[in-house]
Chains A and B, each alone.
Chain A
Amino acid sequence: MRYLLLVLLSLNLFAVDASLKIEKDVEHRSRIALEDASSSANEQFFKILLSDLKISGHFLADTRHHRGDLNSKFITPALKSKEYVLRYILTQSSGTKLIIRLLKASDGKELFKKSYSIPTTSKAPFLAHKAISDINDVLKYPSISWINRYVVFSRYTSAKQSEIILADYTFNYKKVIIRGGLNLFPKWADPKQKSLYYTSYAGMIPTLYRLNIYSGSKQKITSSEGMLVCSDVSSNGSKILVTMAPEGQADIYEMSASGGSKRRITTFNGIDVNGKYIDNESRIVFVSNRLGYANIFKKSISGSGVSQVVYHGRNNNAVDAHGSKIVYSSRESQNSFGNNTFNLYLTSSTGSGTRPLTASGTNQFPRFSTDGSILQYIKHSGSGSSIGYTNLSSKQSLLFPLGVRKIQSLDW
C-alpha cells in the first residue's frame, strides 16, 4: 500500500502538459520536409503548413524553411533522409493560389500534384489546411478533415457588447460575422457548417436564432426568460439540446431544430446546464450543482434517473462529449479571486479510464473535433491566452496565441 501510494504520488508529481509528452512518439510518423518555391518566402504560411503537419499526428516535419524549385526532380542531398518532400508555390495578388507537389524524397518521384485557388487573400490559411488534409489522404492516413472546418467563437468587446467571429482553427483567419449588442453561445447547426445557432439579447429576453452564414437569412427558434443557450446539436442536425428557463429555472430541454416541439429533460431546483448528447444520443451528460457544487452527471433522454459521472474535484463546471467520450474542466485551486488552475480530464460515460489532459494553467471550454480525435480548448497562463489542440491518440499538442479580449464561448 505504501509503495502504491509512493507510485501514485510520483505520477502526480511528474505529471506534465500533454504538449511536453508528445515529442517521443514518432515511430509511425512520416518524415517530411517543406520546400517553398514561391517568388518570395511567406513565413506565416510556412508555419501554418507546419502546424497542420504537426497536429495531424501523422508527420514528423522538418521545421526549417527550405527554398526550392517546384518542377525540379532534384532532391537536395540533405533532404534524402526524409520520406517525402512537399514543394509549393503560394501566389497572393488578386486572391490566393497554391500549387503543391508531393515528392518521394529518395528519387524525386511525384506522388501527388494539385492546385488550389480562392478569390480572397485572407482565407489563405484554409488553402494550407486543405493541401495538408489532401496529402494526409493520399498517404492513406486517417482523415484529418477537421482542420478544414471553421471555428466560431464569441468574445466580449465591452459591457453587454460582444462579437461572433469565424476563424480557421489556427486563428490566423478571423472575420466578424455578428456585431452589435450582446450575441452569445454560437453553435454550429449542421455538419457542413452552413448555419449556426446563437443567442441574441436584442429583445426583452434572450432569443435563440439560426443564421445561415452564407445567405444571412435568420430564423427565430425560441426565446426564454432568464437564459437561453443551444448547448448541443444532434449529429444530423434535427434536434438540439437547449438550456433555458421558461419558468425562471435553468433546465435542459430537447427541441426540434425548428423549435416546434420541446421536451424538458432535467427538473432540478438548482443549476442544470451544458447538456451534451452521449451514447448514440440516447442519453446526455450535463453540469449540475445538485450535490452542492458543480459536477458532471448523466441521464437518459426519456428516463428520470440521474447518475454521477465524475467522482473527483469540487468544481467541474464545463463538459463536452463525443460518443461515449467525455471531457470536462476541473478547478484545482481554491482562490476565490485571481487565476485558478483549471485542468481538463478525459473520461467515459461510465466514468472509467479517466486521465488528465493538461497539468497547468487555466484550461477551459473543452470541445471535441467532429471525429472525436482532437480536443480544442482555451488556455490562460502567465504568458497570455491561447487556443489549444491536443491529438488524443498521438498526444501531440499545439497552442496558438489569442488576442486579449475575453472569449465567451466557442464551437468548431
Chain B
Amino acid sequence: MIKKVILTTATFSLLLLTGCGQTAPDLGGSSNNISDASALSGDTVSINENTYGNELGGRGNSSSDGFQSVYFDFGDYGISSGMENAISRNVNVAGNANGRRIKIEGNCDEFGTDEYNYALGLKRAKSVKDSMGAQGMDTSKMVMVSFGESNPICTNSTDSCYGKNRRVDLRLIK
C-alpha cells in the first residue's frame, strides 16, 4: 500500500515537473512564439521611492512650509491608505518645526450645508491631528480650524475639482 502511494506521488510529481518546463522564449525575429503579445505592448512603470504615494492623484498641494495636504473621500473623514505617506511626511516636517505651532485647516466641498459641513471639516482636521499623534507627534502644538466650504482651491464643476477641496491643509503659525 505504501509502495503504491509513493509510486503514485512520484508519477504525479514527474508529470507536474514536466509540465512546468518551458522553452526559453525567442524574442527576436519572426520566430516569436508568444501568442499574446499584448502583455508586452505597454511600457512598465518607473517609480521614485522618495515621492511614491505622495502624488495625490494630481490634486496638488495647498499646504505650506513643506507640509502635504491630505485628501478625503466624499462625506468621509477617515484617513485613506493612499494618504498614509502624506501623514508620515507631515510628521517628519512637523518634527523639524523647532517647536513652532502648526495650524491644521479642515476643508470641504460645496455639497454640504450649514453647520454640518463645518463639523465635517473639523473631523477631517482632527483625523489628521490624531494620525500624526499616533505616529508619536506632540499634538499640543497643533491648532485645528475648520473652514467648511469657504476655502475652495478649485471652483470648476468636475469630480476631480471637488476632490481637491475635500482636504486638510497644514502650515506653520507665523
- What band does the interface of chain B fall in when counting residues whose beta carbon is under 8 Å from A? 35 or more
Q: Tell whether, in the assembled complex, residue B74 and residue A336 are in contact, meaning their CB atoms are under 8 Å apart.
A: yes
Q: Which residue of B lies closest to A364 (CB)?
A: B113
Specify which chain A residues have a CB less than 8 angstroms from the CB of B116 in the assembled complex: 271, 273-274, 287, 294, 317-318
Q: Which residue of A lies closest to B157 (CB)?
A: A338
Whether A400 is near chain B, meaning CB under 8 Å from some CB there, is no
Once the chains are docked, how many angstroms separate the CA of A409 from the CA of B149? Answer: 12
Whether B86 is near chain A, meaning CB under 8 Å from some CB there, is no
**A243, chain B: closest CB distance, angstroms:** 6
Residues of B131-163 at the interface with A, using a CB-CB cut-off of 8 Å, are: 143-148, 150-153, 157, 159, 162
A227-B118, A248-B122, A317-B113 known; A162 vs B157 contact (CB < 8 Å): no
A248-B126, A317-B112, A337-B111 known; A243 vs B153 contact (CB < 8 Å): no
Identify B143's interface contact among A156, A162, A204, CB under 8 A. Answer: A204
Residues of A179-201 at the interface with B, using a CB-CB cut-off of 8 Å, are: 182, 184-185, 201
**A380, chain B: closest CB distance, angstroms:** 11
Once the chains are docked, how many angstroms separate the CA of A336 from the CA of B157? Answer: 12
Identify A365's interface contact among B110, B113, B143, B145, CB under 8 A. Answer: B113
Specify which chain B residues have a CB less than 8 angstroms from the CB of A317 in the assembled complex: 112-114, 116
Whether B173 is near chain A, meaning CB under 8 Å from some CB there, is yes
**B168, chain A: closest CB distance, angstroms:** 12
Identify A229's interface contact among B75, B118, B123, CB under 8 A. Answer: B118
Q: Tell whether, in the assembled complex, residue B113 and residue A182 are in contact, meaning their CB atoms are under 8 Å apart.
A: no
Specify which chain A residues have a CB less than 8 angstroms from the CB of B113 in the assembled complex: 317-318, 329, 342, 364-365
Identify A206's interface contact among B114, B119, B145, B151, CB under 8 A. Answer: B145
Q: Which residue of B lies closest to A318 (CB)?
A: B114
Q: What's the dominant secondary structure at chain B's contact region? A: mixed
Specify which chain B residues have a CB less than 8 angstroms from the CB of A337 in the assembled complex: 74, 109, 111, 157, 159, 162
Specify which chain A residues have a CB less than 8 angstroms from the CB of B151 in the assembled complex: 159-160
Identify B150's interface contact among A184, A245, A272, A294, CB under 8 A. Answer: A184
Q: Which residue of A lies closest to B129 (CB)?
A: A248
Q: Tell whether, in the assembled complex, residue B173 and residue A204 are in contact, meaning their CB atoms are under 8 Å apart.
A: yes
Once the chains are docked, how many angstroms separate the CA of A250 from the CA of B146? Answer: 11
Convert A26-67 into 0s and 1s, putting 1 for each residue whose CB lies closer than 8 angstroms to a CB of B. 000000000000000000000000000000000000000000
Once the chains are docked, how many angstroms separate the CA of A28 from the CA of B77? Answer: 53
Specify which chain B residues have a CB less than 8 angstroms from the CB of A270 in the assembled complex: 123
Q: Which residue of A lies closest to B126 (CB)?
A: A248
Convert B87-115 into 0s and 1s, putting 1 for each residue whose CB lies closer than 8 angstroms to a CB of A. 00000000000000001001001111111
Q: Which residue of B lies closest to A247 (CB)?
A: B126
Specify which chain B residues have a CB less than 8 angstroms from the CB of A338 in the assembled complex: 157
**B38, chain A: closest CB distance, angstroms:** 34
Q: Tell whether, in the assembled complex, residue B115 and residue A273 are in contact, meaning their CB atoms are under 8 Å apart.
A: yes
Q: Tell whether, in the assembled complex, residue B145 and residue A273 are in contact, meaning their CB atoms are under 8 Å apart.
A: no
Q: Tell whether, in the assembled complex, residue B145 and residue A364 are in contact, meaning their CB atoms are under 8 Å apart.
A: no
Q: Which residue of A lies closest to B152 (CB)?
A: A159
Q: Tell whether, in the assembled complex, residue B150 and residue A409 are in contact, meaning their CB atoms are under 8 Å apart.
A: no
Whether B70 is near chain A, meaning CB under 8 Å from some CB there, is no
A317-B114, A318-B114 known; A271 vs B144 contact (CB < 8 Å): no
Convert A158-188 into 0s and 1s, putting 1 for each residue whose CB lies closer than 8 angstroms to a CB of B. 0110100000000000000000001011000
Whether B120 is near chain A, meaning CB under 8 Å from some CB there, is yes
A273-B116, A294-B116 known; A162 vs B150 contact (CB < 8 Å): yes
**A358, chain B: closest CB distance, angstroms:** 15
- Given A182-B150, A250-B122, A274-B115, 16 extra CB contacts under 8 A: A159-B153, A201-B145, A205-B143, A225-B143, A227-B121, A245-B144, A270-B123, A273-B115, A317-B114, A318-B115, A318-B116, A336-B159, A337-B109, A337-B157, A337-B162, A364-B113
Interface residues of A (CB under 8 A from B): 156, 159-160, 162, 182, 184-185, 201, 204-206, 225-227, 229, 231, 243, 245, 248-250, 270-274, 287, 294, 317-318, 329, 336-338, 340, 342, 364-365, 406, 408-409
24 contacts between A and B (CB under 8 A): A156-B150, A160-B147, A160-B151, A184-B148, A185-B115, A204-B143, A204-B173, A205-B143, A225-B144, A227-B119, A227-B121, A227-B146, A245-B144, A250-B119, A250-B123, A271-B116, A273-B115, A273-B116, A273-B119, A274-B115, A287-B116, A294-B116, A336-B75, A340-B111
